[in-house]
Amino acid sequence: MSSNLLIYNSLSRTTQKFEPINPPYVGMYVCGPTVYGPAHLGHARPAVTFDLIFRYLKYLGYKVRYVRNITDVGHLEHDADEGDDKIAKKAKLENLEPMEVVQMYTEDYHKNMRLLNVLPPSIEPHASGHIIEQINLVKKILDNGYAYESNGSIYFDIKKYSEKYRYGKLSGRNVEDLLEKTRTLDGQDEKHNQCDFALWKKASPRHIMHWPSVWSEGFPGWHLECTAMSTKYLGETFDIHGGGIDLQFPHHECEIAQSVGAFGHDTVKYWVHNNMITINGKKMGKSLGNAMTLEQFFAGDHPLLEQAYSPMTVRFFILQAHYRSTLDFSNEALQASEKGLEKLLNAVKALAELKPGKTSSFSVAELEEKCFDALNNDFNTPVMISHLYDGVKHINLMKDGKETLTEEDLNKLRKLYNDLCFDIMGLLYENTSSDANSGNSKIIGNLVDMIQQLRKEAKANKDYALSDKLRDDLKNAGVTIKDTRDGYEWSI
């Protein structure tokens, strides 16, 4: 099969025709979340970007195997192989098992992805479930001479690698500059060169997550998991590797070095990176006080937010920018997206009700071509959406009886909007915020009263298990009950 899809490759820095290695199969690997805290706004953009790509490739007829990992071990606080494991640190802080932290935040991530209507990947492997594969990869790299052992840890040897290959080709870094910095080393370091990165780290006594290996009781370096899991599930060469542009260096650069070091060749045909988000023009970060969880965003529960923004508003907002542009979250821009989405979906609803005429006063085929040309041009959703709005003008004129389409064209237009809005962009109809504040919340209130009455009866019968179960079921449904002295309070 063939398509006219063009895709930007971060490695060649050019836009190329998309030609999968083994059509109709497409292998796509995307770096997933490190699950040590609630899903935040920064998670939404790569998830929605690669969901669109996943959906569109499937729409074109490709059989896509989409692998998105869960990082649950080895991601240290600093890129320079230092500091605590982010998950272990959280576990210590909250007195939990590391795997409890992983379970809790994986569930939170999934819940938020469902709200954003992000399809689950075909495979979602955990780093901790692939320690053997990672150890085998370290052995391969060692056997090929691109790594060395130092005090029970294994490091990738950038200097040795650079004699034959180009480290830095993805991020455009100059390896001489990177190696230059090594002269400042005081000889105390385990590494030969500062830019060498850990493949395996010997665990210190305070490190709680560790596994046995021939070198030491330790844990794999962060970069290793993606090389191990992508090649395990997609083979030694596959089509697309994606992630946020912040992962380009060092993470993806190291992945390339590991692949070449282990297999003797690159494993990825197209490197695809989504750009970053900013909040009111500033980088997002905990220290900047503007880091927002998705839950806060959907509830409007943050000082920077003037209101709640629904998951579909966030999704549509992300799609209104090209994935390679930066995207600034501001109340003004989001409110515009909210209105824009409503206008678009109202037109889709109106389209279903329209009656055909005898002639067509505009060309549906032309509109269709423009929309798909935009998508085929490196997934240019903002241009595609602008064409959809051109179509909305026609739909509104048809509603007023000022334009018409034949039955065939009308059906074509309906299919076009359904395919683009729902199948490809992954939009959904949502209750508007005014519903939540009025009718619906009254109904929910009545239901909560009913369930509270059942809880009261259960308590009177000393069936505390049932009473607690009802409270927990409500919580799972999104309603939190707080028993007070005078009765109870509830919140969504």
Q: How far is the CB of 255 from Zn ion (least distance, A)?
A: 7
Q: How far is the CB of 126 from Zn ion (least distance, A)?
A: 13
When the beta carbons of 115 and 226 are compared against Zn ion, the nearer one is 226
Residues in touch with Zn ion (CB under 5 A): 31, 226
Q: How far is the CB of 226 from Zn ion (least distance, A)?
A: 3
Q: How far is the CB of 227 from Zn ion (least distance, A)?
A: 8
**Spatial CA neighbour of 398 closest among 339, 347, 345:** 347
When the beta carbons of 245 and 436 are compared against Zn ion, the nearer one is 245
The Cα–Cα gap between 427 and 215 comes to 50
Q: How far is the CB of 50 from Zn ion (least distance, A)?
A: 13
What phi and psi, each to the nearest 5 degrees, are found at residue 121? -70, 170
When the beta carbons of 9 and 227 are compared against Zn ion, the nearer one is 227
When the beta carbons of 10 and 296 are compared against Zn ion, the nearer one is 10
When the beta carbons of 254 and 384 are compared against Zn ion, the nearer one is 254
Q: How far is the CB of 34 from Zn ion (least distance, A)?
A: 10
When the beta carbons of 100 and 236 are compared against Zn ion, the nearer one is 236
Contacts of residue 141, Cβ cutoff 8 Å, sequence gap at least 6? 147, 156, 199, 258, 261, 262
Q: How far is the CB of 170 from Zn ion (least distance, A)?
A: 13
When the beta carbons of 86 and 471 are compared against Zn ion, the nearer one is 86
Q: How far is the CB of 201 from Zn ion (least distance, A)?
A: 17
When the beta carbons of 31 and 113 are compared against Zn ion, the nearer one is 31
When the beta carbons of 20 and 243 are compared against Zn ion, the nearer one is 243
Structure tokens at 488: 């109870």
Q: How far is the CB of 260 from Zn ion (least distance, A)?
A: 16
Q: How far is the CB of 31 from Zn ion (least distance, A)?
A: 3
When the beta carbons of 26 and 226 are compared against Zn ion, the nearer one is 226
